[in-house]
Amino acid sequence: MPTFGEIIKKYREERQLPLRIVASYLNIDQAVLSKMEHNKRTATKEQVKQLAKHFNANEKELLILWIRDRVVYEIKDEEFATDALKLAKQEIKYLTKKNGKK
């Protein structure tokens, strides 16, 4: 399954855009964008939205990938990561229902 970084690199390369052009659009250094593409640095939520707009990509799908990668990076080495994710899913459902959100 591709990472957020791999997807944005693919989008950039498909459009034959150099790092400097996309980095300039995000108002960041091209080294920072390169690190994002190689999963060595995390984008901000605002940057994810900007990239979706720039690449005319599905914002929701990019945000989901971005969140997934952040969660995986945070817990990947934990022995009980899968169990914790199951509980987190239940908690999110509970809090969403409690707060009246879908």
- Identify whether 89 is part of a domain: no
Domain of 50, CATH number, reads: 1.10.260.40
Which residue range forms the structural domain that includes residue 64?
Answer: 4-76
**Structure pTM?**
0.84
Phi/psi for 57 (5° steps) reads -105, 165
**pLDDT band, very low/low/confident/very high, at 100 (cuts 50, 70, 90):** confident
In sign, the C-alpha dihedral spanning 47, 48, 54, 60 is negative
Backbone dihedral region for residue 74 (phi beyond 0: left; psi -120 to 50: alpha; all else: beta): alpha
The pLDDT value given to residue 61? 97
The answer to the question of residue 26 being in a domain is yes
Quote the tokens at residue 34. Answer: 């390169």
Model pLDDT, residue 98 = 84
Q: Is the residue at 94 inside a domain? A: no
**pLDDT, mean of residues 2-11:** 97
* pLDDT tens digits for range 26-84: 999 999 999 999 999 999 999 999 999 999 999 999 999 999 999 999 999 999 999 99
Does residue 90 lie in a domain region?
Answer: no
Q: How far is Cα 71 from Cα 80, in angstroms, rounded to an integer?
A: 14
